[in-house]
A and B are shown apart, each in its own frame.
Chain A
Amino acid sequence: MNDAVVARRRTILHVDMDMFFVAVELRRNPDLVGKPVVVGGDGARGVVAAASYEARRFGVFSAMPSVRAKRLCPHAVFLPGDHDLYSRVSDEVFEVFRTITPLVEGLSLDEAFLDVTGALRLFGDGVATGHEVRRRVKQLTNLSCSVGVASNKFLAKLASVEAKPRATRNGVEPGHEVFEVKPNHELEFLHPLPVESLWGVGPVTLEKLSALSIKTVGDLATFNARVLVNVLGDALGRHLHELAHGRDDREVEPDREAKSIGHEETFSEDIKDLDTAHDQVVRLADAVAARCRNSGVGARTISLKVKFADFKLITRSVSVESPVSTAQAMVHLIEPLLARIDFTAGVRLLGVSARSLSEPELQMSLFDDATGEGAANDLDAAWSTTTRAIDDIREKFGDSAIKPVSSLGKKRQPGSSKWGPSDI
């Protein structure tokens, strides 16, 4: 095979940082290396955000209630998590990715797709490029990562799972570091995998597939596509059928802008009345709006997320024609949603998020519309000058220098107890 052919074959890397949050903590506190470390909320209702491989040996994993993690691994070091730091380190890591290729699409703080098709000439093949990524990340950030290599995004993501170190009862087994799903051998790799490895197979779909005796991706691939579409619906049926044959032609979209900006908080005590909830929503909206403005965007959709004491989760949204970027306008839009929530059973989590982000509306309207969404945009306009002043104050004196009245006296910043409040 000549160079030209190698250079043309689409090659995607999925790079996944190894226990990222924990690794960042270990980097600033090397004494913790080799110890079981858990990052997350350590209060009664906290959840685990990340666990070191040493903690994973005891069965601790992400999203597990912290209480359970403490029972499984009582001697683990529990850290509250420092989202700002992780976010800064993530920026460093992504900068390293961009030294390999500009085609970097972040999935979260600690994983990204890299389309290295055009970079193969420099580094050799996909596997060599993967090792180069690992080498540079290690050298420049002192963090390690695992790399999946394949001809498309979906297979690359599955491949990186194979590349990861594994925690076993006997210790941590190093992984492949770089794992490639070889071209023309995709189905050999894919078909033995359980069907829930596919993107888009959640618990509900899994149940439907089980009813059809579909357990592995191979089962799915040989299943009649028409019946599949009947059972799962057109979009999902086709999507899974394509994936099961290893087909995924989605491009790596570099610099994908944030699709939403949100803050949520799990409370140490359930909220049982509208007034308290309203205060919290004002606080969360204030933080969301500030982040929108920092990113130079406004939102046309504002969502309210509510998790009840019984863990039932609902999301309600409202959309407006022109983007809003002040807390006042966001709160105005959320209020009617909030008023319809029944707080009697208790609410453990509230979240506010901004979606449909675009540049904020600067064009003013001739008509004063005192009702509905027009009012939100009018509020946005009315508060824009004050809000700019607030942003200036925060820039100079820090985020807690100026706050909504309803959150005065509260120490916590929105986002600081993302994984559940501390008991302290």
Chain B
Amino acid sequence: MTEATLILVLVIGTALAFDFTNGFHDTGNAMATSIATGALRPKVAVALSAVLNLVGAFLSVEVALTVTNAVVKVQDKSGAPIPELTDNHGYALLLIILAGLVGGVLWNLLTWLVGLPSSSSHALFGGIIGATIAGLGTSGVNWNGDGSKLDGVVGKVVLPALVSPVIAGVVAAVGTWFVFRITAGVAQRFTENGFRWGQIGSASLVSLAHGTNDAQKTMGVITLALIASGHWSDTGAVPFWVKLVCALAIAVGTYLGGWRIIRTLGKGLVEISSPQGMAAESSSAAVILASSHLGFALSTTHVATGSILGSGVGRPGARVRWGIAGRMVLAWLITLPAAGVVGALMWTVGDALGGYAGPLVVVLALVALAAYLFVRSRRQPVHPGNVNDEWTGTPSVSVRKQEVAA
């Protein structure tokens, strides 16, 4: 096996690992409210979401080959890698992608451990930006685009992150307020039953939209790697096997269910009832679809979180745990730089060692850290059996409290 083949295999494996974490990180966006209100049993909810993600991933015939163009300059407009990076079967480009992916995966795992929802796309972008800065300098980053449309780090990442929770929150708050005003006094068996159906319908729409958007990103990254290494040349299509494995990876991840994040979203922010759940999911579905329709793509995670918060604000007398909301916003703010630092570090290590050793050490570091985070998570597991328990704090906080008590 040559160096180039080795790094290609590692990139594909890490990309699929990222896709997998993307799946379980985002299950809660669509299904947390349905699980919290009991509209769907936990296992049924994640199975439904997984199937819809799988279907969604196959629905997208449109190729997303230019996915990295939003934030860095390693591809031209057609999606082909820039010529400076394609020597030695694209080794330089593949190292940047590999380091970036590792940054994204690690940030996803860390936020999952502490039960915080955070945008997987931002984690991926952060990692790739960091690796690009390390590898090509700050001029390799597309900060602002060319001014012809919303683009660059500012237009595609920073601005959407700032406005999406606010938009979704307002929509959900208004929706919730209307729903409670309109159904005031109606027997609860009618409201609960009726709104459960509404909730399942709107949550399904969110899952499907997620599948079409997010699986594409990994497909784009893998195909870019294949083009750079000379194994694929068509910039108008994604190889079928890439589509298949990406769809499967995100669906399996979704089915696994990020129970820690589902718990925070469903129980931590707001004590949610079916009417609130329906208002929240409808807001998420409408805002996600409207924004992608208008070319102002918003992160599913930020929208879903904003919606759930809004459903607490809009219900008279409901309690919102603003402390937890604050922690989430903090996590969103540091997603990009944190994943970026890891991406840059990984690129530096990989580049210093070079050859076979560089990429291998980077991936081994990922595996070791991932294993450590997984072991940590076993100290206080969250699973379908306890996901809806009374809220006592985000996982990491409780662990600390127990350690102090012991």
Genuine A/B complex: no
